[in-house]
Amino acid sequence: MRTRQNRIAFHLNDREMDNFDRAVKKSGLNYSTYIRYLINNRIPQERPPREYFEILHELRAIGRNINEIAFVANATGNIDATKYDENYKEVLRLILKTIDEREMPKEVI
């Protein structure tokens, strides 16, 4: 069932529509989502380049590797598992911070 039941129609001139189209395409969102962000005092961010997603993929792989090393180290006692766990958590924190800065809409103050 549809959760948004209210519909709004409005008119734009050619220049406004061109600006709106450009902004929506840069964000990678659809028109409705873009406007909902604006209504909720958030400015949608431009869609990150493909390389950004490739870097995130690599960082996640590194994080998984660190986690596996920490697991083995903890089981065998050969490596300081606490140190590796801290590194793993730091990589995850950086990934989440990067995602938040690039993808999440900015709040209007």
The token pair at 59 is: 């960082």
Contact 70, 85 (CB under 8 A): yes
33 band by pLDDT with thresholds 50, 70 and 90: very high
Q: Which amino acid is at 94?
A: L
Nearest to 25, CA basis, from 48, 52, 40, 47: 47
pTM: 0.60
The token pair at 108 is: 């209007």
pLDDT attached to residue 39? 94
- CB burial of residue 34 (10 Å; 0-12, 13-18, 19+): buried
pLDDT attached to residue 54? 84
pLDDT attached to residue 16? 97
d(CA 74, CA 97): 28
Higher pLDDT pick, 53 / 9:
9
d(CA 48, CA 65): 25
User: Each residue of 49-103: pLDDT tens digit?
Assistant: 888 888 888 888 888 888 888 788 778 877 777 777 787 888 888 888 888 777 7
The token pair at 86 is: 């801290």
pLDDT attached to residue 40? 94
pLDDT attached to residue 47? 87
